[in-house]
Amino acid sequence: MRLDCFRRPNSAALAFLVGGAVWFVIGTFYGLFSAIHLVAPEFFNNIPWLVFGRTRPVHTNTVIYGFISGTLIGCGTYYVPALLRTKLWSEPLGWAAFVLWNLAVLSGPVGFSFAFSQGREYAEYIWLMDLAIVLAVLAMLLNAIMTILHRKIDTLYISVWYFVGTFLWTAGSYPIGNVMWHPATGAESGLLDSILLWFYGHNLVGLILTPLSVGTAFYVIPYITSTPIYSYTLSLIGFWTLVVFYSHIGAHHILQAPIPNGLKAVSVVDSLAMMIPVFTVLANLWLTARGRGGALLRHPAGRFVLAGTVWYLLTCIQGPLQSIPALQKVTHFNNWTIGHSHIAVLGFSGYIALGGLWLVLPQLTRRRVYSGKLVLAQFWLVTFGLVGFFVVLTIAGLIQGQGWYNGEVVVRVLPEIHPYMILRLALGLSIISGALIGLYNLVMTLRRGVPFDPELEQEDYFT
């Protein structure tokens, strides 16, 4: 392979997009393995690398870091230079970030399956892979900053703010949450470890997935509707209140633990205050599309992003409310929380990642998407599966929560939720089908997509 291919414009962005589609398939298949365990615990008996305690972290990390983060990074690596009317400062540096990031993601299926894990929620990667992620983050941050310094326009559009902010915040929060000063264990001792873990565990969603998703939404919606952003002031309010409020809310996951009461109070108050950046962002996006909603719904990429904003609204109504201690007595530590995490990660961030993929892919390859019908099929398959997930897991969680709250033991509740676990398994097949269709459509776009000029044919991205 000639080294020139690593200098080709937009090649690093395309690599992230392709990697994201591949990880979507792998991550959802590991989710299937985990769902099978919840229906038939002995199905994979005597296969150590397929036990629930190993497949579940592979599923979560591969979907979060590989599919969603990878796809959104690919989108940003393209749209930041495009918005600044310049080239990415260094394609080789972008490739270095791609290799380091995806090496860490690969260590999930390869490492976790054979017990190479730090055993901490959303922070399972071993120290060397933590180092790879931090180096990738620093490489992307440097690349973005240098691209900004070489820009040909004065204005910094809000999507650029969110993209750079993601890596700036992650460079600070990731080493702390993953306790990188203890390479042997990746953990502190006692209760302090839980505090540090959930400082990071929630910031993974709030300071990585959320800014990447919102930045992509601010690129996709104005582009499709051909309208300027409704309010630049609102966009800055949403940006700064996100980092001010979100960075403190992780402790609401451990309100039942003997952590300081002040930390509990801050986490609950800031959880409720998160409605400010959420509603500000959503109002700005929806008002930008005012009168042009039909264009969004007709456009396959716009449909994904618009649905992602609806999931964002639902997530950020449910999330702050379930941080209230009185409600947590019923909703915490059960399938209610699992349902919430699915609509937050796959619903909000995942839908926007897919929308960004189907808008950016033809722009950077200058080829029409192979099949708009397959994009539509992916949308409805993922939507059917996710809506079903949310309903089924919410019901199962309430059954568990009410039973435990009234003194019932765990084992006696299991038969009551077993039918819902079967439904969850069946619904997961719909999401897997959507992932497979998306990967096929992407590959066929690269191989057989019709060449076109996106600057002249904005309305005809899909065959």
Phi, psi for 367 (deg, rounded to 5) = -130, 140
Q: What average pLDDT score do residues 114-121 get?
A: 92
pLDDT at site 454: 78
Q: What is the pLDDT of residues 29-81, one digit of tens each?
A: 999 999 999 999 999 988 999 999 999 999 999 999 999 999 999 999 999 99
Does the pLDDT of residue 1 top 60, yes or no?
no
On whether the CB atoms of residues 296 and 224 are closer than 8 A, the answer is yes
Rg (CA), the chain: 21
Q: What is the pLDDT of residues 363-383, one digit of tens each?
A: 999 999 999 999 999 999 999
pLDDT at site 463: 66
User: b/e map of 252-280 (b: 16 or more CB within 10 Å)?
Assistant: bbbbeeebeeebbeebbebbbbbbebbeb
The 10 Å Cβ neighbour count of residue 126 is 18
CA 124 from centroid of its chain's CA atoms: 17
Q: Find the helix packing angle between 210-225 and 351-365, rounded to 10°.
A: 60
Does the pLDDT of residue 152 top 50, yes or no?
yes
Helix (H) or strand (E) holding 436: helix 410-448
pTM: 0.96
**What gap in Å lies between CA 35 and CA 329, rounded to an integer?**
25
Does the pLDDT of residue 183 top 60, yes or no?
yes
pLDDT at site 462: 73
Phi, psi for 462 (deg, rounded to 5) = -125, 135
Give the C-alpha distances (Å, rounded to integers) separating 399 from 199, 243, 423, 424. 29, 35, 15, 15
Give the C-alpha distances (Å, rounded to integers) separating 285 from 230, 352, 353, 356, 460. 7, 13, 16, 15, 23
DSSP labels for 231-255? -HHHHHHHHHHHHHHHTT-GGGGGT
Q: What is the pLDDT of residues 261-271, one digit of tens each?
A: 999 999 999 99
Q: What is the pLDDT of residues 305-357, one digit of tens each?
A: 999 999 999 999 998 888 999 888 899 889 999 999 999 999 999 999 999 99
pLDDT at site 7: 81
The 10 Å Cβ neighbour count of residue 442 is 25
- The pair of structure tokens assigned to 65 is 């870091």
Domains of the chain, first to last: 3-448 (1.20.210.10)
**What gap in Å lies between CA 452 and CA 365, rounded to an integer?**
9
pLDDT at site 2: 59
Residue 348's nearest CA partner among 253, 278, 276 is 278
Q: Output the average pLDDT for the chain.
A: 94
pLDDT band at 458 (very low <50, low <70, confident <90, very high): low
Q: What is the pLDDT of residues 219-256, one digit of tens each?
A: 999 999 999 999 999 999 999 999 999 988 999 989 98
pLDDT at site 355: 97
pLDDT band at 453 (very low <50, low <70, confident <90, very high): confident
- Compute the half-sphere exposure of residue 170: CA atoms within 13 Å on the CB side of its CA: 28
Phi, psi for 260 (deg, rounded to 5) = -55, 140
Residues facing 462 on adjacent strands: 369
On whether the CB atoms of residues 206 and 247 are closer than 8 A, the answer is yes
Phi, psi for 369 (deg, rounded to 5) = -60, 135
pLDDT band at 156 (very low <50, low <70, confident <90, very high): very high
pLDDT band at 3 (very low <50, low <70, confident <90, very high): low
Residue 141's nearest CA partner among 178, 181, 100, 169 is 169
CA 85 from centroid of its chain's CA atoms: 27
Residue 316's nearest CA partner among 346, 279, 353 is 279
Q: Mean pLDDT check: name the lowest of 222-236, 413-427, 445-459.
A: 445-459
pLDDT at site 171: 96
